[in-house]
Amino acid sequence: MTTTIPVEEDLLPSEADVRSYEEHGWYLSKKLFTDDEVDALVSASEAFYAGARDRRLGKRPSTLAYWEPSDGAVQRHNDYIHYESDPIAAILRKPIVGAVAARLARTDEIRLFQSTLIYKPPRPDEPSNLVPWHFDRHYWQTCTSDNMLTAFIPFHHCDEEMGTITMVDGSHRWKEIGGGDSTSRHFAHRDAAELDELLRENARYNGVELRTVPMVIPKGHMSFHHCRTYHGSGANRSSRPRRAISLHLQDGDNRYRRHLLSDGTPVTYNHEHFVRRAEDGMPDYSDPDFCPVLWTSNG
Ligand SMILES: O=C(O)CCC(=O)C(=O)O
Ligand SMILES: [Fe+2]
């Protein structure tokens, strides 16, 4: 007898929702987390910022996003939060999140790929709060999949005043121009004006007018975006910090692939420092410690 983890069918995207995701490149979910779960994310993140760790990453590669109090009142990013914080991981691993992603990606299995804890301080003029236009597939050139997606999970109602995530509608279906070597570098290390121009150039090339959609996300809901959907976000003009997790997800088929820059240098992703090796000696993107299965349709 096979057992399937029960999830509430009502909370899953309908066939029409999945088609809309395929057309627009983003989806706003139903309420997947209770208020108590969302509040628990706030307290667990505060404990984390104060130094609590259930496990520690063995290394700090220079490319790792890892805010520490000595970095001050800039935007905070902490990668691998699901590895270092058990209370946060427990909530992120609720089956409904993976089940929603599986429906959207029309796949049978969803594994976690990466998760980043994010905090935008309530400082309207703080330049590090601005997230320039980018799409996540650029960071994942060592992945075989073109079907990966991200859940953006705020810890409160999140709207434009707080600098919510903003999607460029339908951009995941664009043909790409100008996607050179530099696209694999994280946006924090790139020139925002250059990225802005790259987006405009791509829109022109595809003969479309830019339509940006700020995601207004009620507490407990989350937004999903396809790995080729351009997105970014603005200043936090509110009086409260904008707290969130960016939960990057891979479909079951995703594997490591070697990817070279034009000068022959291999592209690297931080997993290479952490995950176990597969039989072929390559980084294993299904290492259960770092990339656990969140959902599989056969239980
Ligand atoms: O923090 C933001 O507004 C954007 C986060 C992001 O780039 C993502 O979730 O992929
Ligand atoms: Fe992103």
> What pLDDT, on a 0 to 100 scale, did the predictor assign at position 88?
99
Q: Which residue has the tokens 């991981």?
A: 89
Cβ–Cβ under 8 Å, residues 174 and 208: yes
Q: Which residues of 227-246 are buried (b: 16+ CB within 10 A; e: fewer)?
A: bbbbbbbbbbebeebbbbbb
> What pLDDT, on a 0 to 100 scale, did the predictor assign at position 5?
66
State if pTM tops 0.85.
yes
> What pLDDT, on a 0 to 100 scale, did the predictor assign at position 299?
61
Higher pLDDT, residue 298 or 24: 24
**Ligand 1 and 246: CB distance under 6 A:** yes
The one-letter code for the residue type at 21 is Y
**Per-residue pLDDT for 3 more than 60?**
no
289 CA distance to ligand 1 centroid (A)?
24
Per the prediction, the chain carries an average pLDDT of: 95
Q: Whose CA is nearest to atom 2 of ligand 1?
A: 165
Other Cβ atoms within 10 Å of 137 Cβ, number: 21
Q: Whose CA is nearest to atom 3 of ligand 1?
A: 165
Q: Which two tokens stand for residue 72?
A: 């001050």
Q: Which CATH architecture has domain 9-296?
A: Sandwich (2.60)
**Ligand 1 and 195: CB distance under 6 A:** no
What is the per-residue pLDDT across 121-174, written as a single tens digit (0 to 9) for each?
A: 999 999 999 999 999 999 999 999 999 999 999 999 999 999 999 999 999 999
- What CA–CA distance (Å, rounded) separates 195 from 200? 9
Tell me the mean pLDDT in the region 97-113.
98
Tell me the mean pLDDT in the region 44-66.
97
- What CA–CA distance (Å, rounded) separates 290 from 58? 13
> What pLDDT, on a 0 to 100 scale, did the predictor assign at position 210?
95
130 CA distance to ligand 2 centroid (A)?
12
Higher pLDDT, residue 284 or 181: 284
* Neighbouring residues of 34: CB distance < 8 A, sequence distance ≥ 6: 220
135 CA distance to ligand 1 centroid (A)?
9
55 CA distance to ligand 1 centroid (A)?
25
**Ligand 1 and 131: CB distance under 6 A:** yes
Cβ–Cβ under 8 Å, residues 219 and 35: yes
Give the number of the atom of ligand 1 that is nearest the alpha carbon of residue 151. 9
The one-letter code for the residue type at 208 is V
231 CA distance to ligand 1 centroid (A)?
7
**Ligand 1 and 149: CB distance under 6 A:** no
**Ligand 1 and 152: CB distance under 6 A:** yes
**Ligand 1 and 109: CB distance under 6 A:** no
Give the number of the atom of ligand 1 that is nearest the alpha carbon of residue 136. 10
- What CA–CA distance (Å, rounded) separates 49 from 43? 10
55-59, 166-170, 187-191: least confident range: 187-191
At 20, which helix (H) or strand (E)? helix 15-24
2-16, 121-135, 228-242: least confident range: 2-16
Q: DSSP 3-state assignment of 27?
A: strand
Cβ–Cβ under 8 Å, residues 286 and 111: yes
**Per-residue pLDDT for 6 more than 80?**
no
233 CA distance to ligand 2 centroid (A)?
10
1-10, 64-73, 170-179, 192-201: least confident range: 1-10
**Ligand 1 and 233: CB distance under 6 A:** yes
**Per-residue pLDDT for 217 more than 80?**
yes
> What pLDDT, on a 0 to 100 scale, did the predictor assign at position 188?
76
